[in-house]
Amino acid sequence: MSTVQSGERHVGVVGLAVMGENLALNIERNGFAPAVYNRTAARTEEFLAKRAMGTDILGTFTIEEFVGALERPRRILLMVKAGPPVDAVIAELAPYLEPGDILIDGGNSLFTDTERRSHEVADKGFHFIGMGVSGGEEGALWGPSLMPGGPNEAWVELEPMLTAIAAKSASGPCVTHIGPGGSGHYVKMIHNGIEYGDMQLIAETYDVMRRSLGMTAAEIGEVFDRWNEGKLESFLVEITGKVLKYVDPLTEEPLVNVIADQAAQKGTGRWTSQNSYELGTPIPVIDAAVIARSLSSFKSRRLEASKVIKGPGSEGMPFPPTPDKQQLIDALENALYVAKITSYAQGMALLATASETYNWDLDLSEIARIWTGGCIIRAELLNPIMQAFKTNPQLANLMLAPYFVEQVNSGSPQLREVIHTAIGFGIPSSAMNAAISYIDTYRQPLLPANLIQGLRDYFGAHTYERTDREGIFHTEWMQVGV
Ligand code: NBP
């Protein structure tokens, strides 16, 4: 039953798929009366007849009716598919809006699209907020992590409602004003890139236990459950335990054993890698995760190759002896933790570069804080990350904060041990390898780039600098020398 009159609805939600429905219910439960609209009326009708039944949610069936139901300035949350649908909905709404009204895009939009839309919408006198929303279906209903970016005056209008609906962690509500323009969607993109890295590292860890120790899915699930009590405590480690222990009612096998081993990469993961190349700030663990997903999708080619390319376990190439189980499991726990640290270090470094490049003045400590609850990458690890950037907002790399120096130093020998085992058994471990190479590259005073510069000068007269004197040099390599 509606208690708030049409024309006085606090907020409007456009798009009633998974996210829109759950956010509308969350908003209503927290005392803000929403009006909702969906392009296909049947979806609105179903929502009103089922999940929204008995709530103070007002269903509307034309854009005009929807806009007319809202108090001013109008606050309209778009939860439609990212890409052209967002532009289409803005174009439909625009004729009915007035200066000062606020459009919030809560989808996974590309941050450069958000920058463009911010300008287009501002030219019409409206405000545009690009808001990253993380937490999936459950988060949207019970408290997501929210990453809104856009003009401050619009944030001030939205803050009470966004604070009410956001997840609450020990550090407070998981929402903050990220910065101007596309910064909110950018931070969500990095969040998702880190999520890619986390999942790939978890998958490699599972693969090492499965293949080198011959453990069952349920046994591995128990290990993840135990790890979730310690420093690896996180939503993804928690659900890994649950997924691995889930028994398929059809086959009575662990369900994970009958799930096809092909994962797609799209949208935010790929965008994170692309942007890191543009900004020259490498994120090799996240890149490895994106690449691993692409390679996994080549199933038929992998099957063909498995018949002709040999490796450990092939005829004449026996597996190494089975490792000591407890020792390897302990090593895996520390390896996963250290590898995760490098991945977060890479994501945070990219955020720092983006902040400078796009003039966003991002607060990395605050960003880590709003990821401590509600979102997919919520983890105990985010607390020391939050502290590290609070203590030193200019920290050049997360690995250099005292706590993380200690963790990397104590855990990296076990990361090496795990990679050694993986390679010995022929188990792909590209994200783990990317993590240790990142550490080894970052800590290395001397890299082989001297030879690269020599080669470039040889074939292209690209010149080089010397370590023993100032200046730019070129050598006629074919005239002198051996
Ligand atoms: P989807 O991404 O599946 O989008 C479906 C919604 O978009 C429906 O309401 C559909 O209306 C509407 N829509 C489309 Br498609 N084209 C439209 C158009 N031209 N005009 C108007 N409406 C249009 O929904 P979702 O999974 O709820 O996700 C919404 C956004 O949130 C996406 O950007 C997504 O990436 C992001 N996100 C999703 C999750 C998640 O866990 N699912 C998490 C975080 C963020 P119709 O009913 O008429 O077809």
DSSP string, 403-467: HHHHHHHHHHHHHHHHHHHHHHHT---HHHHHHHHHHHHHT-S--THHHHHHHHHHHH---B--S
In this structure, are residues 195 and 139 in contact, taking their beta carbons and an 8 Å threshold? no
Based on the fold, state whether residues 77 and 49 are members of the same structural domain.
yes
Based on the fold, state whether residues 342 and 455 are members of the same structural domain.
no
Based on the fold, state whether residues 159 and 257 are members of the same structural domain.
no
Mark the ranges of the chain whose per-residue pLDDT is less than 70. Answer: 1-3, 480-482
Pocket around ligand 1 at a 6 A CB cut-off: 15-20, 38-40, 43, 79-82, 85, 88-89, 107-108, 133-134, 136-137
Q: Side-chain half-sphere of 258: how many Cα atoms within 13 Å?
A: 11
Determine the residue of 22, 51, 80 to mutate for testing ligand 1's pocket, defined as the one with the most ligand atoms within 8 A of the Cβ atom: 80
pTM for the model: 0.96
In this structure, are residues 127 and 154 in contact, taking their beta carbons and an 8 Å threshold? yes
Based on the fold, state whether residues 324 and 472 are members of the same structural domain.
no
Alpha-carbon gap, residue 366 to 18, rounded angstroms? 28
Tokens of 98: 């007035």
- CA Rg value for the chain: 26
Q: Which CATH number is 85's domain given?
A: 3.40.50.720
In this structure, are residues 408 and 338 in contact, taking their beta carbons and an 8 Å threshold? yes
Which atom of ligand 1 has the smallest separation from the CA of 17? Answer: 27
Give the chain's domain count: 3
Based on the fold, state whether residues 160 and 232 are members of the same structural domain.
no
Q: Write the DSSP symbol of residue 179.
A: B
Q: Which CATH number is 465's domain given?
A: 1.20.5.320
Dump pLDDT digits (tens) for 23-58: 999 999 999 999 999 999 999 999 999 999 999 999
Tokens of 170: 């020990």
How many angstroms separate the alpha carbon of residue 24 from the centre of ligand 1? Answer: 14
In the set 28, 115, 195, 417, the catalytic residue is 195
How distant, in Å, are the alpha carbons of 107, 129, 136, 191, 296 from that of 143?
Answer: 16, 19, 10, 17, 33
Asked, for residue 4, whether it belongs to a domain, the answer is no
Tell me the average pLDDT of the chain: 96
Based on the fold, state whether residues 427 and 328 are members of the same structural domain.
yes
Based on the fold, state whether residues 19 and 37 are members of the same structural domain.
yes
* Host domain of residue 463: 449-480
Per-residue pLDDT at 5 = 75
Residue from 129, 77, 81 nearest 108 by CA: 81
Asked, for residue 65, whether it belongs to a domain, the answer is yes
Alpha-carbon gap, residue 168 to 436, rounded angstroms? 34
Per-residue pLDDT at 1 = 53
Based on the fold, state whether residues 275 and 410 are members of the same structural domain.
yes
Asked, for residue 56, whether it belongs to a domain, the answer is yes
Determine the residue of 13, 14, 19 to mutate for testing ligand 1's pocket, defined as the one with the most ligand atoms within 8 A of the Cβ atom: 19
How many angstroms separate the alpha carbon of residue 376 from the centre of ligand 1? Answer: 19
How many angstroms separate the alpha carbon of residue 219 from the centre of ligand 1? Answer: 38
Based on the fold, state whether residues 316 and 246 are members of the same structural domain.
yes
How distant, in Å, are the alpha carbons of 190, 393, 400 from that of 344?
Answer: 10, 15, 13
Per-residue pLDDT at 259 = 97
